[in-house]
Structure 1
């Protein structure tokens, strides 16, 4: 099973030298691109991405960002970020003199070379992947009284007892009113009222046209 997430996160799992810097300022912004480095960090240039995380200025002035090659062509980091993990056949991280020898000074921060899987001739390749998660608080450690237990605790504590004869009927009416509500099934789960489960769903879809089937005349 392929790792969940994007292609860059998957590469980070298998390649220790490829690191994605944690940036809590991005929050849950799906359009924010991460900051990454292959050959360590540099102190020259913009040390962090500005507010416009996807702007050309922010990415060009990031001194740590490697260049990305996809099937022989240089592409943007956003292209790799949106790439379906299942389409990757091989990847190579170049971070030494071989990188600058092949790609020049632009490869000083390393090169990420990715090759996608070849498609079968004459077939349309459609892929879909989805992930649905539910996050709910664990309230099993709490042991709170229900409505009936709370009413009994109030009675034992003497909340409904009074030495004032004018308040006896009022206290008795209050107690009986609460008891009737409990008998009718009225109950409030205050822990559940203060918490709620968080549901999230992510999905990726891609369709790639296959190369045409070679004919007999193409082989001559």
Structure 2
């Protein structure tokens, strides 16, 4: 069996099985384009992502992911479902109870919350092109009127508030961002487009007090992402 899709709280989830499991698991938390349905998921439909999934499976990783209510933008319900998925996988699959997390874009908002709530259960975290601050992301999107309006609608739906209250809700929710954790964290930014450069400047502001040095790669180096991810995860598997 290559993968298994199953429902949990109306949301589809998927587990990708390696041929020769090593006992280590990876939770993938996708960006705003991410989805999981009854037959497939974004990471198996996208050529580059599928290549990474296959590389990780070849190294023996059991990989799991959830639809997480679609464009959740780090909502509490998405965080809670991610925790439930973790417990389901640990109960039903033969993997070490300390997992790796690979979060992309918007998924970093959920990963940062899990980092606070599941300290003892996370082995290491990779944040790929992450959105670390909703407040700053809103500011960046204000320059793009169409996308800003769309984002406001998505945030209103995710946080169950009126669109007029979105900004105040986000400002009230978001405190200082702390990337100090009990587990190793790596930030990888693919430098493609103006937005990625804006994000990279933002990292310098947000993580200036931490010891994390983001890795910046050019778009033509994206095929190397799988090897970078595997090397980082593997380096934190000596202690079970």
What is the TM-score with the length of structure 1 in the denominator? 0.23
More helix per residue: 1 or 2? 2
TM-score, L = length of structure 2: 0.22
